[in-house]
Structure 1
Amino acid sequence: MSRAGLRHLSVRQWSLAGFSFCVLMMLVALALEHIGGLEPCPLCIFQRVAVLAAAAVFLVAAIHNPRGRVGAALYGGLSLAAVIGGIGVAWRHLWLQSLPPDQVPSCGPGLDYMMDILPMRDVVSMVLSGSGECAEIDFLLLGISLPGWTLIGFLVLALAPLGILLGAFLERPGSLNGSRRAA
């Protein structure tokens, strides 16, 4: 498809593509957990939350399929915010994995325990500050750890909200519904 053709994709088409990629990312994560036996650390769980948040926005956007610039920009912005949050968490996770062993934070309490006794603000702060379990590298594929692959996934996923936003800001009003302009 040509670059000009990509601008003519509707919000629904971009959203379905983004939602499908979110489903793929979650299927891989769940397969690695339940088939591969890899337990997710707290940062992995936060990355999953970002994927699910983006998926929820994409699903609502696909169902609604706004035809105006404002609706498209709203869905594009919300899904991009979820993706950027995921990029930030994956980047933090990679940074923790890059630390020398003597600089890795000590392991803290489990996420379930923290969720039971601490306010959400404190849980988020503690998880993002990292723990020893998040710095462990349990799996490599082509020399890249799981947070690295997740970061790559989020960067690919960012194409969908960016496509929605591109359509919202560069196309003339009324053209976001997938119709083609006359040549």
Structure 2
Amino acid sequence: MTTTLSRVSVRQWSLAGLAFCIVMMAVALGLEHLGGFEPCPLCIFQRIAVLSAALVFAVAAIHNPKGRLGAGVYGSLSLAAVLGGIGIVSRHLWLQSLPADEVPTCGPGLDYMMEIMPLQEVLATVFTGSGECAEIDFMLLGISLPGWTLLGFLLLMLAPLGMLLRVVVRPYIYRWQG
């Protein structure tokens, strides 16, 4: 199994990851524009994480490095973007799990904060959380949107792990076969 997975090229892993990022963004934008769900600040940062991973996957697919270094760099960068998304969505899920009396009060909108505050304060405020991030607007099969987003990030993580698998496993396979 690992020999088969390690034969998948960086381009193939990147295209798979990029396609999944496009699906994640299509669902998010569809829910916003067709479903009428307004994204909270943490949702917006989750989208930024998806777009960051998509950018790395796109560059990796175009470059298609053959060596271990390129696979390692692209795998690490895309894994960092995905792990960042997992961290953000985990915070979102934590806020949603709080009892109503412990939920932070709603703050100003992200657009307003970006206009009047320095970026560092905006990030600190967003990650502290607000009441709007704790609201559960939609559930499917008993799972909230951030729960589905977490599942999406976990599936998306397979692409960078596949690239990193090439770096770690592939050299040993060739030694065993040689």
TM-score range, shorter chain: over 0.9
Partner amino acid, structure 2, of 1:49: I
TM-score using structure 2 length: 0.95
In the alignment, which residue of structure 1 is the partner of 2:133? 134
Cα offset, 1:67, TM superposition: 0.9
Cα offset, 1:35, TM superposition: 0.6
Identity fraction in percent: 68
Is residue 75–residue 161 contact of structure 2 (8 Å, CA) maintained in 1?
yes
Counterpart-to-counterpart distance in 2, 1:87 and 1:123: 20
SS of residue in 1 equivalent to 2:39: coil
SS of residue in 2 equivalent to 1:67: coil
In the alignment, which residue of structure 1 is the partner of 2:23? 24
RMSD value over aligned CA atoms?
Answer: 1.6
In the alignment, which residue of structure 2 is the partner of 1:6? 5
Partner amino acid, structure 2, of 1:147: P
Which string of whole-angstrom CA distances, capped at 9 and with x for unpartnered residues, describes residues 94-143 of structure 1?
Answer: 00000000000000010001111111111111101100000000000000
In the alignment, which residue of structure 1 is the partner of 2:49? 50
Counterpart-to-counterpart distance in 2, 1:76 and 1:3: 17
Counterpart-to-counterpart distance in 1, 2:2 and 2:169: 13
Partner amino acid, structure 1, of 2:111: D
Is residue 75–residue 164 contact of structure 2 (8 Å, CA) maintained in 1?
yes
Counterpart-to-counterpart distance in 2, 1:141 and 1:5: 35
Cα offset, 1:4, TM superposition: 2.6
In the alignment, which residue of structure 2 is the partner of 1:102? 101
In the alignment, which residue of structure 2 is the partner of 1:116? 115
Counterpart-to-counterpart distance in 2, 1:76 and 1:159: 10
Cα offset, 1:172, TM superposition: 2.4
What are structure 2's unaligned runs of at least 5 residues? none
Tell me whether 1:38 sits opposite 2:33 in the alignment.
no
In the alignment, which residue of structure 2 is the partner of 1:155? 154
Segments of 4+ in structure 1 off by > 3 A?
A: none
Is residue 3–residue 170 contact of structure 2 (8 Å, CA) maintained in 1?
no
Counterpart-to-counterpart distance in 2, 1:87 and 1:43: 11
Counterpart-to-counterpart distance in 2, 1:65 and 1:122: 38
Counterpart-to-counterpart distance in 1, 2:5 and 2:168: 14
Tell me whether 1:59 sits opposite 2:40 in the alignment.
no
Counterpart-to-counterpart distance in 2, 1:151 and 1:5: 27
SS of residue in 1 equivalent to 2:65: coil
Cα offset, 1:72, TM superposition: 0.8
What are structure 1's unaligned runs of at least 5 residues? 176-180
Counterpart-to-counterpart distance in 1, 2:55 and 2:69: 19
Count of residues paired in the alignment: 176
Higher helix proportion, which one? 2
